[in-house]
Amino acid sequence: MSQLSTPTAATPTWRLRNAAFWDGVRHQYDKRDIDAWDDSVPYEVTNNPDFAERCAQGVLHYVISCQADGFQGQFTVLEPGAGLGQFCYLFISKLHALMNIAGVDPSCLTYILCDQSEQTRDFWSEQPQLQFYLKREYIKIEPFTLDSHQGFAKVTSAIDDYDLRNNRVILLANYFFDSLLQQPYRLIDGVYVPHEIGKPRSQINKKLTSLSFKPANTACDDSICGVSQRILDEFAERGIEYVLMPEGAMAVIQWLDQLSDHPALIICHDKGFSDLSQNAYNATYHIIKTGQYASCVNFQALGRYTELALHGSCMLPSPYDSGFTCAVFHTKVRHEALAGFRVGLEYLVQSGHSFVRMYSQRYLSRYELAEDLTGLFAVLRELRFSLHALVEQKDFLIEKLRQADCLDHIDIDGALDAFWQHYYFTPHRKSQTQLIALLEVALHAKRYVYVEDKLADYASWHGKDYAFKKISGDLYFIQSDFASAAYYFTEAMNDNPDCDHCKQYLTHCESLL
């Protein structure tokens, strides 16, 4: 059990009920498995090449600094609640590329990809882009669950059986801490009174934030340990009315810290508050539903917990950066001596906000300003050849490719390769749409061998469906193989008789044959 609890005290009812609420969030993810990301829970912010590369840079700085400081052991990266696994793929491929440049041996680091859901873990073990790394054991897959035990957070993971005592462990928590057990308190007459979270009873007309918070039948919480109480006292001294205490995240950090004799590094990306006197929780405790219940993480409490209980340090984002931010915690080291580590991670912390801006519509609309293909590819490069961006602007890009007399001045092959490196298969419509966009763009750029090659992958992952047949028809038509084109257009029309494009091109084929 977590040290955050007082095992002798009988667990109060409000604590058991709140634990049941957060356990419910976990069960919902477990039930929905990777389909949680089929358009219901947003995930682009943490599963894109730019974000993965920045994280890889931060971790590489840490690795280099530790080695320069004399550490000769292994590094173990843990990613709990990893969802699709796409971040892991992008991160590890970027990290290996950067290690290559920096002359760091990639075998010094193992990535443990974790999720509570068995089906998710089964999906990863077959996922095509992960295979290279799984086979060479750069990536391992393990279960990781945080649930409640008598109202307190408790970690269960196969990682407990690993011997990581001499390793440097690094936790990458992307949109993870916000779904774990968090406890609402309200300052009443100078004392924090715990509140019980109530879910809406009616399923009809339920609003996004229709949770209720009623004071627990107790003057204060005497079930928490001294450090949590001290953190609450500090908040009380500053008159902060509403506090959400991240008990689940605290338990995860504590669990991580005890795995190794060395400091543990935690890099957390989430919506969060680094200074509660600047960004206060309101009466809803910012618990909202975005596919599932989640909240702004109390980074300030996590920072104090790392300092007080784990003798560590933290780097928190600017208080004004609360939309999506990065916070870094480092246990067992009060004053960090590793210079490169600070530089790399401070950059990561400071740039947290830019991820969101990058994916906002305003930023993407810069495409419209790109007058020619050179400008357009410059913007695509700036967005690190993200397939999300490619889908957004596919039509505009194809139009520009059609209008271009000559493509020799543009590194089309480099761009297509970069997009391909970032493609990650999932059995969802979004993943299919991304591959279709890539094939269509490559076709209009006249890269026929590339299209043929990737169409074979499309067929083995998504099946020989209507899109496969239509693009195959286009591919053969454009190369003047009208018999093959006619075959594929006919096949495509069997699947989709309303396809005007196939109808029209089939007529062309018949007249040319």
Ligand X SMILES: C[S@@+](CC[C@H](N)C(=O)[O-])C[C@H]1O[C@@H](n2cnc3c(N)ncnc32)[C@H](O)[C@@H]1O
Binding stretches for ligand X (CB under 6 A) = 25-26, 29, 41, 43, 46-47, 80-83, 115-117, 144-147, 174-176, 179-180
Contact 505, 485 (CB under 8 A): yes
Tell me the torsion sign for CA atoms 214, 217, 218, 221: negative
Of 3, 1, 19, give the one whose Cα is nearest residue 228: 3
Token digits of residue 464: 């020989």
Residue whose CB is less far from ligand X, 29 or 285: 29
Tell me the torsion sign for CA atoms 446, 447, 449, 454: negative
Residue whose CB is less far from ligand X, 29 or 423: 29
Token digits of residue 179: 């779904």
Least Å distance, CB 321 to ligand X, is: 18
Contact 77, 44 (CB under 8 A): no
Least Å distance, CB 353 to ligand X, is: 17
Residue whose CB is less far from ligand X, 32 or 262: 32
DSSP state of 158: G
Least Å distance, CB 440 to ligand X, is: 27
Residue whose CB is less far from ligand X, 51 or 468: 51
DSSP state of 332: S
Residue whose CB is less far from ligand X, 389 or 442: 389
Contact 225, 254 (CB under 8 A): no
Least Å distance, CB 465 to ligand X, is: 27
Least Å distance, CB 401 to ligand X, is: 32
Least Å distance, CB 87 to ligand X, is: 6
* DSSP H stretches of helix in 261-337: 299-310
Residue whose CB is less far from ligand X, 115 or 440: 115
Least Å distance, CB 59 to ligand X, is: 16
CA distance 443 to 448: 6
For 114, other C-beta atoms within 10 Å of its C-beta total 25
Residue whose CB is less far from ligand X, 279 or 292: 292
Question: What is the β-pairing status of strands 139-149 and 109-115?
Answer: parallel
Token digits of residue 375: 């400008």
Least Å distance, CB 391 to ligand X, is: 18
For 442, other C-beta atoms within 10 Å of its C-beta total 27
Residue whose CB is less far from ligand X, 156 or 218: 156
Among all residues, whose Cβ is closest to ligand X? 81
CA distance 173 to 88: 11
Contact 79, 112 (CB under 8 A): yes
Residue whose CB is less far from ligand X, 180 or 416: 180
Contact 356, 317 (CB under 8 A): no
Residue whose CB is less far from ligand X, 178 or 196: 178
Of 224, 178, 213, give the one whose Cα is nearest residue 2: 224
Least Å distance, CB 144 to ligand X, is: 6
Residue whose CB is less far from ligand X, 156 or 209: 156
DSSP state of 471: H
- Provide DSSP, 372-385: SHHHHHHHHHHTTT
CA distance 268 to 173: 5
- Provide DSSP, 2-51: -TTB-TTSPPPHHHHHHHHHHHHHHHHHHHHGGGGGTTTS--GGGSSHHH
Three-class SS of 193-224 = EEEEEECCCCCCCCCCCCCEEEECCCCCCCCE
Residue whose CB is less far from ligand X, 66 or 348: 348
Least Å distance, CB 20 to ligand X, is: 12
Least Å distance, CB 153 to ligand X, is: 8
Contact 492, 476 (CB under 8 A): no
Least Å distance, CB 81 to ligand X, is: 2
